[in-house]
Amino acid sequence: MNATHDSRPAGSRPEGPADDGDSARDLDLSADEHGRGRRSRRQRMPLWLDTLVTMVVALLIAVLVKTFLIQPFYIPSASMNPTLMQNDKILVSKLSPGVFDLHRGDVIVFEDPSDWIPGDATDDPTPRVRVMMLLSLVGLAPDPSQDHLVKRLIGTSGDHVVCESRGAALQVNGVTLDEPYINPATPACQDAFDITVPEGKVWVMGDNRYASADSEVHGEDGFVDESDITGRAEVIFWPASSWTRLDDGPASFADVPDQP
């Protein structure tokens, strides 16, 4: 009987599908080489480009935060003493008004409604204003040509605000206010007045009442459009020794009814 002759060379394998173990090893090798290739390409990014991308992303995040969340402001005058001192720096939440409501007693920042601040800070800018002008181009600071003021919110739409005589206490909707935040060396109002806040407006006053060009001083031009309000001051963040939250004002208005 003739024996079947196998003509395959020693060590060779039959033709046909590859062994499953070999296929898996080939795929693993291919995937590993592919991964190393991708990492190699990432590692070849120039340092200057990597730095530029990081800076651009950081700038975009800063602009978004400033536009929609918080913004720092500098206090240039004594109109809010003793709550805010000259050269204090505050953080203002731009979620109020909007996401969160404003309340009587809040410290707010708003755009100059009708030339309360004489002149234009950019006409003969100081070094600080020059820096602000530069930062405002990329959205990291308020535009110094659009003057902002900081005051305390006293009356909202429909409120009846009264000062019966010079040096008397303020009344809002028939309730006499106890205002511990004002300058203790001066009374609550400079002159007698009796106003009702129009719809869509607010009435504001400085805590240093006799040194504040506020709604009381400007009379009929003293109402501030709600649309001009930038936000609510939340905290003094600089100097560090003065760090404090600015949230105690609304307690003075706790008994004030919503309607006169």
Residue 6 scores a pLDDT above 50: no
For position 119, what pLDDT does the model report?
Answer: 55
**Mean pLDDT for the stretch of residues 121-140:** 64
Mean pLDDT, all residues of the chain:
79
d(CA 109, CA 91): 10
Cα–Cα distance, 259 to 242 (Å, whole number):
36
Contacts (Cβ under 8 Å, ≥6 apart) of 122: 129, 133, 144, 145
- The two tokens of residue 140 are 């990291």
pLDDT digits (tens, 9 = 90+) for 199-217: 999 999 999 999 998 999 9
Please provide residue 57's backbone torsions phi and psi, each rounded to the nearest 5 degrees: -65, -45
List pLDDT tens digits, range 150-169.
Answer: 999 999 999 999 999 999 99
**DSSP 8-state symbol, 198:** P
Higher pLDDT, 216 or 137: 216
CA 73/CA 87 separation, integer angstroms: 10
Residues carrying an active site annotation: 79, 151
